[in-house]
């Protein structure tokens, strides 16, 4: 099993254990691939739910550029909803899981087809 496959398995377990969701493995794999080498770096593989600068990066680079959404308060609301869903007290919010949840929230799975 490759390192990426191991991480995908870990992300699917995180979705199940922390969010109570069964992952769409095809979409989870595509989101993982889309994150590129950042998944292998301890710092960039996670999202800090309390770092405003990091959340702005998620909003600009992922929601607006990748998913093609228009900037507005609904983006901030969605990020807050994902943080709540993932668990505010959970320090390790994996970027892939975070992006997966945002993709599902906005029904933008087609971006990864």
pLDDT tens-place string over residues 83-97:
999 998 888 899 999
Q: Give buried/exposed letters for 18-34 (b at 16+ CB in 10 A, else e).
A: bbebebbeebbbbbbeb
pLDDT tens-digit map of 8-65: 999 999 999 999 999 999 999 999 999 999 999 999 999 999 999 999 999 999 999 9
User: Which pTM value belongs to this model?
Assistant: 0.96
Outline where DSSP puts E strands in 13-92. Answer: 46-47
Distance from C-alpha of 52 to C-alpha of 39, rounded to nearest angstrom:
21
Helix (H) or strand (E) holding 82: helix 73-86
Six token digits for residue 104: 């599902």
């Amino acid at each position: 099993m490759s390192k990426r496959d191991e991480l995908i398995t870990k992300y699917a377990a995180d979705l199940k254990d922390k969010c109570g969701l069964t992952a769409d493995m095809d979409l989870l794999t595509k989101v993982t691939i889309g994150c590129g080498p950042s998944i292998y770096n301890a710092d960039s593989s996670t999202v800090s739910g309390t770092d405003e600068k990091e959340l702005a990066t998620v909003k600009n680079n992922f929601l607006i550029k990748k998913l093609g959404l228009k900037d507005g308060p609904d983006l901030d609301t969605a990020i807050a909803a994902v943080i709540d869903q993932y668990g505010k007290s959970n320090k390790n919010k994996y970027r892939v899981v975070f992006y997966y949840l945002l993709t599902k929230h906005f029904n933008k799975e087609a971006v990864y087809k």
